[in-house]
Structure 1
Amino acid sequence: MRQFIILPIALLMAACASETSKSGDELTYAGQPTDTNSWFMSEPEGQTPKALSYDIEKVGLAPKSQVNTLAEKIVNELVLQNDSLRSDQPLLVTTPVKVDAFSQTDALGLQLQQGFVAAFHAHEFNLVDMNVANAIRATEQGEFILSRDWKLLPSDLPVSHVVVSTMATTTQGVMLNARIVNVTNNRVVSAVQTFVHTDSLPGYLSPSNKVTSENGLLYRNEQSGDGKVAVLGEKL
Structure 2
Amino acid sequence: MNQKFARYLLCAGVATLAACTTYDGEQAESLSAKPQLNVIDITTVDSDGGMHYSKPNYDQEDNFGAPGQPPLYSSVQGAYKGRPLTKHVGDYVQNLTQDLVSNMDYVTQKTPIGVTHFALLDSDLQQTNLLGRQMAESFMHEFHKFRIPVIDFKTTEYIRVTDQGDFVLTRDYLELDNAAAIQYVLTGTMAKHQGGYFINARLIGMQSRAVVASAQTLIPFYVVDAIIPSDLDSMSTMQDGIKLSQGE
TM-score category, normalised to shorter length: 0.5 to 0.7
Give the Cα separation in 2 of the matches to 1:111 and 1:22.
32
Tell me the TM-score normalized by structure 1. 0.60
**1:174 match:** 197
2:102 pairs with one of 80, 86, 100: 80
Specify the SS of the correspondent of 2:110: coil
Deviations for 1:77-133, whole angstroms, at most 9, x for unmatched residues? 100110221122111011111112211000111111100000011111011000101
Are 2:128 and 1:119 equivalent residues in the alignment? Answer: no
For residue 139 of structure 1, report the CA deviation from its aligned partner. 1.1
Who is 1:105 aligned against?
A: 128
The superposition leaves residues 119-167 of structure 1 with CA deviations (integer Å, 9 ceiling, x where unpaired) of 0111110110001012211112221110010001111001110001100
- 1:65 offset after TM fit, Å? 4.8
Q: CA contact under 8 A between 2:130 and 2:244: conserved in structure 1?
A: no
Which residue of structure 1 aligns with residue 48 of structure 2? none
Name the SS for the 1:190 alignment partner. Answer: strand
One-letter amino acid of the counterpart of residue 151, structure 1: L
The structure 2 residue matched to 1:232, chosen from 225, 231, 241, is 241
CA distance in 1, matches of 2:126, 2:220: 24
SS at structure 2 position matched to 1:95: coil
| Rg comparison, structure with higher value | 2
**Counterpart position of 1:67:** 89
Query: Match for 1:95: what amino acid?
Result: H
Q: Could you list the runs of 4 or more consecutive aligned residues of structure 1 that deviate by over 3 angstroms after TM superposition?
A: 17-23, 199-202
Larger helix share, 1 or 2: 2
Structure 2 partner of 1:194: 217
Aligned equivalent of 2:226? 203
Alpha-carbon RMSD:
2.8
Do 1:131 and 1:146's aligned partners in 2 also have CA atoms closer than 8 Å? yes
CA offsets, 1:25-82, max 9 Å, x none?
A: xxxxxxxxxxxxxxxxxxxxxxxxxxxxxxxxxxxxxxx9511101111111100110
Q: Contact between 2:190 and 2:198, CA under 8 Å: does it hold in 1?
A: yes
Q: 1:190 to 1:172 in 2, by over 3 A?
A: same
Which consecutive residues of structure 1, in runs of 5 or more, have no partner in the other structure? Answer: 1-16, 24-63, 206-212, 217-229
Corresponding letter in the other structure for 1:81: N
State the secondary structure of the residue aligned to 2:136.
helix
**Inter-CA distance 175–20: structure 2 relative to 1 (3 Å threshold):** farther
* 1:165 and 2:188 aligned: yes
Residue 208 of structure 2, aligned match among 185, 190, 195: 185
CA contact (8 A) 1:108 1:231 kept: no
Contact 1:160–1:183 (8 Å) recurs in 2: yes
Query: 2:177 maps to what in 1?
Result: 154
Identity of aligned residues (%): 25
- What is the TM-score normalised by the length of structure 2? 0.57
Distance in 2 of aligned mates of 1:170 and 1:137: 41
| Conservation of the 8 A alpha-carbon contact between 2:155 and 2:176 | yes
CA distance in 1: counterparts of 2:194 and 2:127, whole angstroms: 20
Partner of 2:161: 138
Q: Which letter maps to 2:141?
A: A
CA contact (8 A) 1:172 1:197 kept: yes
Unaligned runs of 5+ in 2: 1-50, 58-85, 229-235
Q: CA deviation at 1:170?
A: 2.3
Q: Give, in whole Å, the separation in 1 of the partners of 2:54 and 2:126.
A: 40
111-120 vs 195-204, which deviates more?
195-204
Residue 19 to residue 165, structure 1, CA distance change in 2 (3 Å):
farther
